[in-house]
Structures are given as C-alpha cells and as structure tokens.
Amino acid sequence: MKFAASLVVTALLVSPPTAGFAANGSDDAKAEVKVSFHDLNLHDAGDAKRLLDRIHSAALDACGASPESVPEYRALTIKSQCYAVGVERAVRQINAPLLSALYDQDRSTRLAAR
C-alpha cells in the first residue's frame, strides 16, 4: 500500500500541470495574473518583445510554476495546455500586430523544438 501511494504522488509531481481545470472536470477554476504594459510602446519591436516575455512569465505563474519552481516543472508547465492557451488568449486580447507577429514566430520556434 505504501508503494502505491508513493507512486501516485510521484506521478502527480511529474505530470503536466492542469491548472485551469477543476477536479470535477469543469473549467471553472481559473487563475489570473495581471500583466501591465502601460510603460511600453507596442509599435516598437523591443517593447513588444518585453511584453511577450511578461506574458510568458504571467502564464507560468497562472499555471502553477513560480520562479522558484524546479526547472523540470517549469518545462512541463510550458508544454501544458494551460500555458499555451493563456499566452495565446493574452496576445489575441491585446491585439497589437507586432506583438502577434512576435508571438506567431515564437510559437513556431517552440513547436519546432518539440
């Protein structure tokens, strides 16, 4: 019995994060992280890149990986649906052409690396 309980805990620790979905299968559980960009000019490539970096960081937070998380957990979070959907929604909601282009390029690079 002890062995089985340890195996379940290990599987939960290494499974991709599923934040954003309630245990009962509904999607009412949500985490929100505010991303400020009032200090950025979204017509400038450098500022658009800074905002995309902020969005990626906020998505990690919202999906359960903090800066103190172990690298393996952060990597699993980045591969999760929670992270992908969170980043895409934020980029689409802001609706800035340069940000969207950077996101599309970044997404293509990430998909090719898988």
The predicted-structure confidence for 80-108, as pLDDT tens digits, reads as follows 988 988 898 889 888 899 999 999 998 88
Q: Please state the separation of Cα 38 from the chain's center in Å.
A: 21
Residue 1: band (very low, low, confident or very high) from pLDDT cuts 50, 70, 90: very low
pTM > 0.75: no
Q: What length does the chain have?
A: 114
CB 11 within 8 A of CB 20: no
For residue range 35-46, list pLDDT tens digits in order.
Answer: 888 888 999 999
- Per the prediction, the chain carries an average pLDDT of 74
Domain boundaries defined on the chain: 41-114
